[in-house]
A and B are shown apart, each in its own frame.
Chain A
Amino acid sequence: MEKIPILKMGKLLLVTIQVDLYDRLAEALEADLVQMINKTGAEGVLIDISAVSIIDSFMGRIIGNIATMSKILDAETVVVGMQPAVAITLIELGLPLTGVLSALDVEKGMLLLQQKIILKETTSLTDEDDGNTE
């Protein structure tokens, strides 16, 4: 069976979907990604969907699931490169993908993830400081 590769880059996982998605492939990606987050302790996931020409309700739901699941595993997900026609279709279909962070391209997505991770680290650091002073 086909598989969508997941690349590890520092604290991030990168996924570029270059093939036509079908249900089983999307489900496999969901399972693989969650396992990879757990295994690598990744803090961010970047999914590039610039080559995906259609997203229907099932695949949209999988993307939402991935974002929610990684959140529970303490990782942020950013979806980048959505084609305008896909965005229009998703909204008319009734799937606004709330709760999924998005960015226009890979570069901006990376930046967004890095900011999120830094923000998380600094807040946890100040938390520890507070603990020490008390």
Chain B
Amino acid sequence: MVTLNKETMSVMREIDVIPFRNRIKEMAVKIGMGLVNQTKLITAASELARNMLKYAKGGKVFIEVISKGRENGIRLVFKDTGPGIPDIKMAMQDGFSTGKSLGLGLPGTKRLVSEFHIESEIGKGTTVTVIKWKNG
């Protein structure tokens, strides 16, 4: 997997989510991603950014254009230094939420992207990595 382009954005306030979503859209359009996949990727990004704001008071997102063989895609790495997730297995279940939401955030997000990886350490923070391939 080769990284073609990399940039960082910080999401510290709710309003930061809008330029963040727009930037992802620009990059997705640039690599020729179709509208449905674009929408899925941006929706997933929106969910993860909200989680970061809600549970960790914000964090950083690395946005990368990657390529594997003939396929191009976008990788997003959400890094926060929040409280961490005690039980990832539980958090990945549909309908589970410690907040007031419907609990669709993490499992729903996973369904929207091509690859999903989550790592969390209590007291240190959480890192969520998602990849959406152009045709994936």
Q: Does B bind A? A: yes
Cβ-closest chain A residue relative to B34? A85
Q: Are A22 and B47 in contact (CB under 8 A)?
A: no
Q: Are B43 and A56 in contact (CB under 8 A)?
A: yes
Residues A23 and B14 in contact in the complex (CB < 8 Å), given A54-B21, A89-B112, A93-B111: yes
Residue-wise, chain B 63-107 has the 8 Å CB interface mask toward A (1 for contact) of: 000000000000000000000000000000010000001101101
A23–B99 alpha-carbon span in the complex (Å): 15
Question: Residues of B with Cβ closer than 8 Å to A?
Answer: 14-15, 17-18, 21-22, 25, 35-36, 38-40, 42-43, 46-47, 50, 94, 101-102, 104-105, 107-109, 111-112
Cα–Cα, bound, A85→B35 (Å): 7
Contacts A57-B102, A58-B50, A85-B36 given: A94-B43 contact, CB under 8 Å? no
Residues of A in contact with B, size category: 20 to 34
Contacts of A55 on B, CB cut-off 8 Å?
Answer: 43
Q: Is the CB of B50 within 8 A of A94?
A: no
- Chain B min CB distance to A119 (Å): 31
Q: Tell me the chain A residues, 70-123 only, with Cβ under 8 Å from chain B.
A: 83-86, 88-89, 92-95
A24 interface residue per 8 A CB criterion: yes
B40 touches A89 (CB 8 A): yes
| Nearest CB on A from B13, distance (A) | 10
Partner of B18, one of A22, A83, A88: A22
The secondary-structure label for the interface of chain B is helix
A-B contact pairs, 24 of them (CB 8 A): A20-B22, A23-B50, A24-B14, A53-B25, A53-B42, A54-B21, A54-B46, A55-B43, A56-B43, A56-B47, A57-B105, A85-B38, A86-B39, A88-B40, A89-B36, A89-B39, A92-B108, A92-B111, A93-B43, A93-B104, A93-B108, A93-B112, A94-B108, A95-B108
Give which listed residue, B18, B36, B46, B107, contacts A56 with CB less than 8 A: B46
Query: Of A22, A57, A85, A89, which is within 8 A of B101 by CB?
Result: A57
- Looking at chain A's contact residues, the main secondary structure is helix
Given contacts A89-B43, A93-B108, contact A56 B35 (CB under 8 A): no
Nearest 3 interchain pairs by C-beta: A85-B39, A93-B108, A56-B46
The answer on a CB contact under 8 Å between B14 and A22 is yes
A58 to B102, CA, bound (A): 8
Residue on B nearest A93 in the bound complex, by CB? B108
- CB of B96 to closest CB in A, whole Å: 12
Beyond the given A85-B35, A85-B36, A95-B108, could you list 13 further A-B residue pairs with CB under 8 A, ordered by the A residue number? A20-B21, A53-B42, A54-B43, A54-B46, A56-B43, A57-B101, A61-B101, A85-B40, A89-B36, A93-B104, A94-B104, A94-B111, A95-B104
